[in-house]
Amino acid sequence: MAIEISKVIQDWVPRGSKIVDFGCGDGTLLKKLIDEKDVQGYGVEINDKKILSCIEKNVPVIKLDIDLGLHDFEFSGFDMSIMARSIQCLKNPNIALEKMLKLSKTCVVTLPNLGYWRCRINLAVGKMPVTPDLPSSWYETENIHLCTIRDFENLCEEQSITIKEKFFIGPKNKKGIMSSTNPNFFATEGVYLLEKK
């Protein structure tokens, strides 16, 4: 995860809160949040190698398929759930959003933007987008539900989800004026803090 994004998320996470990170990877973000913001954090991950790294870091982790496991945490009382660059890999991103906001008061979602201009050029010449941020070919990508910034914000609107904060980054994970003023065209990734209306 880009340092900029990690910093923004750290700012949004309330000190001492209870959080769950869906698709926590090797636990780097959670480790930071546990050490620096004193959170009670749990990671959810499916990859064994990454899980072992979490355990090595003393980051609590659960092996679960997010597609199947979101309903397990109904009574866990999380303050915040995080899903960084994973929602586009799920079978039902809309249901996942709904469930995340049921199991936690707020949620942080980051997602790649298919509306980014380089993706549009790819499509304009008749090819599926392959960019530095979306490097996999169509036949091997895990991103089965890619969307644009506008699509995602429309979905939030439809599902009565309030976007409390948002943040965009452009190429090379840098925050720029272009990606902030016209994110749907210039941002490579969107970072959202969401709350149920």
Partner 1 sequence: MKIETNIFDFDEGIVLENGTKLSSFKLMVETYGELNESKSNGVLLCHAFSGNHHAAGKNADGLVGWWDQLVGPDKAIDTNKFFVVCCNNLGGCSGSSGPTEINPLSDEIYGKNFPQVSVEDWVNSQKMLSDRLGISKWHLVVGGSLGGMQALQWAISYPDFVNKAGILAAAAKSSTQNIAMNEVARESIRKDPNFCNGDYIKNNKRPKDGIKAARMLGHITYLSEKHMNLRFGRKYQEEGSKVSGNVDFEVENYLQYKGEKFSESFDANSYIIMTKAMDGYDIATDSKTLEKNMANIKASLLIIGFNSDWLYPPARGKEIQIAAINQNIKSSYIVLDGEQGHDSFLFHSEKYSKAIKNFIGS
List contacts with partner 1 (CB under 8 A): 18, 40, 42, 48, 51-52, 54-58, 60-63, 72-73, 75-77
Pick the closer one to partner 1 by CB: 55 or 123.
Answer: 55
Pick the closer one to partner 1 by CB: 54 or 96.
Answer: 54
Query: How near is the Cβ of 40 to partner 1 at its closest, in Å?
Result: 5
Query: How near is the Cβ of 54 to partner 1 at its closest, in Å?
Result: 7
Long-range contacts of 71-77 (CB under 8 A, 24+ apart): 71/99, 73/20, 73/103, 74/102, 74/103, 76/18, 76/20, 76/103, 77/18
H or E element in which residue 72 lies: none
Pick the closer one to partner 1 by CB: 83 or 119.
Answer: 83
Query: How near is the Cβ of 12 to partner 1 at its closest, in Å?
Result: 21
Classify the phi-psi angles of 105: left when phi > 0, otherwise alpha if psi is within -120 to 50, otherwise beta: alpha
CA-closest candidate to residue 78, choices 129, 121, 18? 18
Query: How near is the Cβ of 73 to partner 1 at its closest, in Å?
Result: 7
Query: How near is the Cβ of 53 to partner 1 at its closest, in Å?
Result: 8
Query: How near is the Cβ of 77 to partner 1 at its closest, in Å?
Result: 7
Pick the closer one to partner 1 by CB: 11 or 74.
Answer: 74
d(Cα 111, Cα 114) in Å, to the nearest integer? 9
Pick the closer one to partner 1 by CB: 56 or 142.
Answer: 56
Pick the closer one to partner 1 by CB: 105 or 150.
Answer: 105
The residue written with tokens 């090797």 in the block is 26
Alpha-helix runs per DSSP H in the chain: 3-12, 28-37, 48-56, 66-69, 93-103, 117-124, 149-158, 177-181, 183-186
